[in-house]
Amino acid sequence: MSNRKEESRTAGKAIVTFARGWQTLVATRSLGRRGVEVVTGDEYAMTAAAFSKYSVADFRYPNPTKEPEAFLDTLEKVVLEHKPEDESVPYVLIPIHKETYLIAQHRERFEPQIRVPIPQIEHIAQVHNKGTLAAYAIERGLPTPKTWMPENMARFQSIASQVELPAFVKLREAASGVGIRKVDTLEELTSTYEEFVEHFKLKEADYPIIQQGVPGDDYCVTTLFDRGKLVASMTYRGLRAFPAERGATVMRETVDAPEMERIAGELLGPLGWHGVAELDFRWEGAPEAVPHLIEVNPRFFGGLIQSVESGWDYPWLLFQLAVEGHIDPVQTTRTDVRTETPVLAFLSTLQEITESEGHMKALHQSWREVKQEFRTGSKRQSLRKLVHGIKDYLDVKARYRKVKGLLEDHQDNIYDVLSRDDPLAALGVLYPLAVFLRHGKVNLELITGEGGPGGDDD
């Protein structure tokens, strides 16, 4: 554990977990800039938040999924070690990622010593599991995609042919694009479902759900509740995701979305929700179109930078709520902000640029179809197909314009990591880089910590 010189006067003190997350760096800076002393923790070294000048100390803890008791013991020890001698100094535990659920389950171990402004574990369980969330949303009459929840493999096999495609196979308990796959055919549906069950070693109670694909773009509604009362909310639209098919949002812009925010209040309010939450929606954008609730992240979220830069500073608002019992109203906001996640946002752009490979594959496919049709069908039609295939592949100007536009999308964006007043935090990029070098690929389960049930997220 490392310690740094602490300020003699402080607005309070906070213990923050999941220091490798970009959102944790955002939270650390948010609190530190307001005079809060921030102690950052993670199971790994070389994390972005630990490198930040606003982290007065940092510590390591065991994997909360694999070693829950050891994690709780370590965190309890850290909480006691850093407890301010002056009882009047505000002291708040702010878990960031999925360790939130374990802390909520054992909050009595911490609350005598430190404030813990997170939802009750039974409220988290109601909405984090995609199966129980879908059932709860349907019960309350809230819009959600058509959902199938097979309780065993025999049931899946009996309903597979009834699933309306395209659809998504989803782990019940995962996020950040992990454990979600789009399927377009019955064969893909069957193979993906069986693969998920086997790969994640799922028990029947944890079998994946299947949701019908709905049109539209990705929207993220961010919220803060005070014991069931929605006290702050803002929405951003996902401009890029990585991977492109239902991955985590890595480029964003703030939008007005009162209907989605109303649905968020109707979903979480009756539970008596307390703390932050982020809700994912799909929406076509037209006023008459219905936004569909996709899932809920009952904790801090990857796009936290978008909220903070737009005026909704959730880490500070949550700290205020824990200490004062209320928050100051959000007044100064912006809707002209774009933010992006370093490394992953650029990879998403590269993924779109490499569509040219798809054009080449399409040309080869056209040639195969032309040869077959020339032998057995209309020669005129076959030649027309070949001409269209060549034209599509050789449209160099159109492809250049697309690439240029994609790269220009990165101009003037705000990054999660880079900051003139806190430059050393950029060394946090070493963690995903080390992951890449070790595994030879960008492993989102490792970078985001979102391994599914039975998955290995080391």
Beta strands in 289-376 (DSSP E): 292-297, 338-340
Q: Say whether both 70 and 159 belong to one domain.
A: no
Residue where a domain terminates, one of 161, 183, 212:
212
Q: Say whether both 231 and 206 belong to one domain.
A: no
Give the integer Cα–Cα distance in Å for 16 and 91.
11
Contact 209, 243 (CB under 8 A): no
Q: What is the pLDDT of residues 11-27, one digit of tens each?
A: 999 999 999 988 999 99
CATH number of 202's domain: 3.30.1490.20
Q: Say whether both 329 and 396 belong to one domain.
A: no
Q: Which long-range contacts (CB under 8 A, 24 or more apart) does 409-412 make?
A: 409/239, 409/240, 409/251, 409/349, 410/340, 410/345, 410/346, 410/349, 412/338
Q: Say whether both 359 and 304 belong to one domain.
A: no
What is the four-CA torsion angle of 275, 276, 281, 286, rounded to 10 degrees?
90
Considering the domain boundaries, does residue 35 fall inside one? yes
CATH number of 330's domain: 3.30.470.20
pLDDT value of residue 116:
98
Strands 292-297 and 275-283: antiparallel
Residue where a domain terminates, one of 167, 184, 212:
212
CATH number of 74's domain: 3.40.50.20
User: For the chain, what percent of residues have pLDDT higher than 90?
Assistant: 62
Give the integer Cα–Cα distance in Å for 392 and 359.
7
Q: Say whether both 233 and 333 belong to one domain.
A: yes
Q: What is the pLDDT of residues 240-295, one digit of tens each?
A: 776 665 566 778 999 999 999 999 999 999 999 999 999 999 999 998 999 999 99
Considering the domain boundaries, does residue 413 fall inside one? no
Q: Say whether both 182 and 284 belong to one domain.
A: no
Residue among 454, 442, 424, 458 at smallest CA distance from 177: 442
Strands 12-16 and 292-297: unpaired
Strands 55-60 and 36-42: parallel
Q: Please give the residue range of the domain that contains residue 160.
A: 146-212
Cis link prior to 243 (omega < 30° from 0)?
yes
Strands 248-255 and 229-242: antiparallel
Considering the domain boundaries, does residue 415 fall inside one? no
Q: With a cut of 80, say whether residue 219 has pLDDT above it.
A: yes
Question: By mean pLDDT, which of 124-138, 197-211, 399-413 is the weakest?
Answer: 399-413
CA torsion sign for 42, 44, 49, 51 is positive
Burial of 252 (0-12, 13-18, 19+ CB in 10 A): buried
Q: Say whether both 224 and 331 belong to one domain.
A: yes
Considering the domain boundaries, does residue 433 fall inside one? no
Alpha helices in 62-210 (DSSP H): 68-81, 99-105, 121-128, 130-139, 153-159, 186-199
Considering the domain boundaries, does residue 437 fall inside one? no
Mean pLDDT of 435-446: 58
Q: Tell me how many domains the chain contains.
A: 4
Q: Which long-range contacts (CB under 8 A, 24 or more apart) does 361-364 make?
A: 362/389, 362/392, 362/393, 363/389, 363/390, 363/392, 363/393
Give the integer Cα–Cα distance in Å for 338 and 358.
29
Considering the domain boundaries, does residue 428 fall inside one? no
Give the integer Cα–Cα distance in Å for 117 and 276.
9
Give the integer Cα–Cα distance in Å for 196 and 346.
28
Mean pLDDT of 334-351: 67
Q: Say whether both 283 and 238 belong to one domain.
A: yes
Give the integer Cα–Cα distance in Å for 35 and 48.
19
Considering the domain boundaries, does residue 277 fall inside one? yes
Considering the domain boundaries, does residue 274 fall inside one? yes
Mean pLDDT of 73-92: 97
Q: Say whether both 222 and 336 belong to one domain.
A: yes
Query: Which is more confident, 143 or 400?
Result: 143
Maximal CA-CA distance, the chain: 88
pLDDT value of residue 451:
45
Q: Say whether both 322 and 362 belong to one domain.
A: no
Residue where a domain terminates, one of 212, 235, 266:
212
Mean pLDDT, all residues of the chain = 83
Q: Say whether both 35 and 66 belong to one domain.
A: yes
What is the four-CA torsion angle of 40, 274, 111, 126, rounded to 10 degrees?
-90
Q: With a cut of 60, say whether residue 64 has pLDDT above it.
A: yes
Q: Say whether both 221 and 208 belong to one domain.
A: no
pLDDT range class, residue 438, cuts 50, 70, 90: low
Instruction: Write down the number of H helices and E strands in the chain.
Output: 17, 16
CB atoms within 10 A of CB 102: 18
Burial of 290 (0-12, 13-18, 19+ CB in 10 A): middle
